[in-house]
Amino acid sequence: MSDDALRPRSAALLVIGDEILSGEVEDQNTPFLTRRLWELGILVTRVVILGDRAEAIVEELRRLADGHDFVLVTGGMGPTHDDVTRPSVAAALGLPLEPHAEAREILSADYGDRLTPSEAAMADLPRGARVLRGRQQLAFAFRAGNVLVFPGVPVLLQDIFELAAEELLSSPFYKQTLWVRGKEGDFSEPLAAIQYENPEVGIGSYPVFLDGRYRCKLVLRSRDSAALERAAREVEERLDLDPPPVSQF
């Protein structure tokens, strides 16, 4: 298997909203997206939270889009003055913002004769954007280039993501969890050697104090199942393993 085939695709999350930064609304989207993307074989390497400031969003989005395979943006899709995500995405990608026929149809079906000019403006998307829909047909996200923009409401984001995930599919990760007796310092050198000898396997060490003593949870991840098995065998042979604790996290 080639190195490129083993390389996980990367993603960044850009969470937008003064309400997140002020603590008025709890960010439920980041935990959901990081977990689901990992299950798809896509590593989230950066999460950025910004307020509703167009200039900052444009600057950060350009940086994230250049450095990641995907950028997932949440929030700021509504009709009020502080919803600046759509024009900011267009500016970051160097695209004009223009009416999108499918998005307008969705809004018209939802609002009917009650559709106001500010609500109709939610159908203005970056040129060439593709609408992403979930099972709840009256909500939508959109994709422009490698940027996917979702509504901030968790139930809507999750619904749309589950259908949009088909175009994000990558090779899944394989995973093994092993428990090691003692503190991290007790086995840091042999663990570093195992990691060096198995570069295609990511090894994370997470110390905990459970059941009255120290132990460490080792999580091994790879897109190469054979490489994962080799690394796991080395851990079993060279470190002092422990059975899983009664109280796990």
The pLDDT > 90 percentage for the chain reads 69
Domains detected in the chain: 3-168 (3.40.980.10), 174-242 (3.30.70.1130)
Question: Residue 160's closest CA among 136, 130, 126?
Answer: 136
* pLDDT tens, position by position, 73-125: 999 998 988 899 999 999 999 999 999 999 999 999 888 889 999 999 999 99
* pTM metric for this prediction: 0.78
Q: Could you tell me the pLDDT band of residue 12, with boundaries at 50, 70 and 90?
A: very high
Closest C-alpha among 91, 133, 138, 136 to residue 119: 138
Specify the amino acid at residue 216. Answer: C
Burial of 232 (0-12, 13-18, 19+ CB in 10 A): buried
* Statement: residue 196 has pLDDT above 70: yes
Buried b (16+ CB within 10 A) or exposed e, 46-77: eebebbbeeeebbebbebbbeebbbbbbbbbb
Q: Is the pLDDT of residue 2 over 50?
A: no
36 exposed, middle or buried (CB, 10 Å; 0-12, 13-18, 19+)?
middle
Nearest residue to 37 (alpha-carbon basis) of 164, 176, 218, 177: 164
List pLDDT tens digits, range 120-167.
999 999 999 999 998 876 789 999 999 999 999 999 999 999 888 877
